[in-house]
Homo-oligomer: A and B are copies of this chain.
Amino acid sequence: MAVLSVLTPALVAVLCLVVGFMLLRPWERKTTGASEGKVSNTESRPWVDQDLQDSSEISAKETEGDDWADSCEEEDVAHVPYSPERYSEETMLKKSKDFYSLMNQRRSVRFISPEPVPREVIDQVIHTAGTGPSGAHTEPWTFVVVSDPEVKHQIRLTVEEEEEMNYRQRMGDKWVQDLSKFRTNWMKEYLDVAPYLILIFKQTYGILPNSKKKTHYYNEISVSISCGILLAALQNVGLVTVTSTPLNCGPRLRLLLKRPVNEKLLMLLPVGYPASDATVPDLKRKALQDIVVHI
């Protein structure tokens, strides 16, 4: 009886510990995942959970004001008058319609002609992309233009290898059955064929003269905006591309292209003339009234 009265507290303690662990486990799993960026399901999909803020909102808390050029670095920069060309209302309306018409003809094109494209045009297009705004005027972008056939092929192999893993992991047995229905798969022939591959890297931070890291606020948003201007510039000269974000192969492509560790691959754009038999999916865009709200 005396033994039992000693044992009982011990037994209760063990029971409590077991219950405690069962309570702890779910939190632990959740937290570890979050800090490693490897959370599955809802937690790793910021767009699914309305309450889960994504990086842009987290990063906003770290910035020095929301106005992209309100940085300390700019305080002592002299101001100069700015008076761009001004058009009549009639001209504005015509220009806006013409530009809409031009941009509305843009499509993501996977069938790219191998014909050569003047390099100077590509340079002008990238120069244009470089006019985009950026957080604190950091200009956090590097455009790697690959025309070397061997390097293009290496890129293709890397992308296809990762893509095949994506497809197989995603589809399993069902993939094998359904393959015939697919119009696109992991094969990216255009990566060999297109005369240029433009790989757009975001510089996640910069290096100051004193070797310290310089924060690049909003680098992903800035580089994406710049990519929008690049797409407009390509369309303006009659070249095509398909916007892709091969992020699973980012580290391998970064090493292949010998980019520094502060750069991360954001997009890969194969660029050229459309193939003479190019096709695009017959998709429609939303009507204006479905994307705009006037207040």
Contacts and interface: CB of A to CB of B under 8 A. Distances in A.
Contact of A53 (B17, B36, B242, B291): B36
Contacts of A34: 30-31, 34-35
A173 interface: no
A162 B60 CA distance: 11
Given A46-B58, A92-B118, 7 more contacts: A9-B9, A46-B55, A60-B248, A61-B248, A75-B181, A92-B238, A225-B228
A211 interface: no
A280 interface: yes
A277 B282 CA distance: 48
B183 A47 contact: no
Q: How many of chain A's residues touch chain B, expressed as a range? A: 35 or more
Contacts of A12: 9-10, 12-13, 16
Contacts of A147: 294-295
A131 B103 contact: yes
**Looking at chain A's contact residues, is the secondary structure mostly helix, strand, loop, or mixed?**
mixed
B9 A20 contact: no
Nearest to A67: B244
Interface string A267-290: 000000110111111110110100
B295 A215 contact: no
A216 B96 contact: no
6 contacts: A12-B13, A31-B31, A54-B204, A79-B183, A85-B238, A147-B294
A262 B54 CA distance: 13
Contacts of A110: 67
Nearest to A66: B246
Contact of A39 (B58, B126, B221): B58
Contacts of A247: 56-57, 60, 66
Contacts of A58: 37-39, 44, 46
A67 B161 CA distance: 14
Interface in A13-62: 13, 15-17, 19-20, 23-24, 27-28, 30-31, 34-39, 43-62
A245 B24 contact: no
B121 A93 contact: yes
Contact of A66 (B142, B182, B204, B244): B244
Nearest to A171: B64
A170 to B, nearest CB: 6
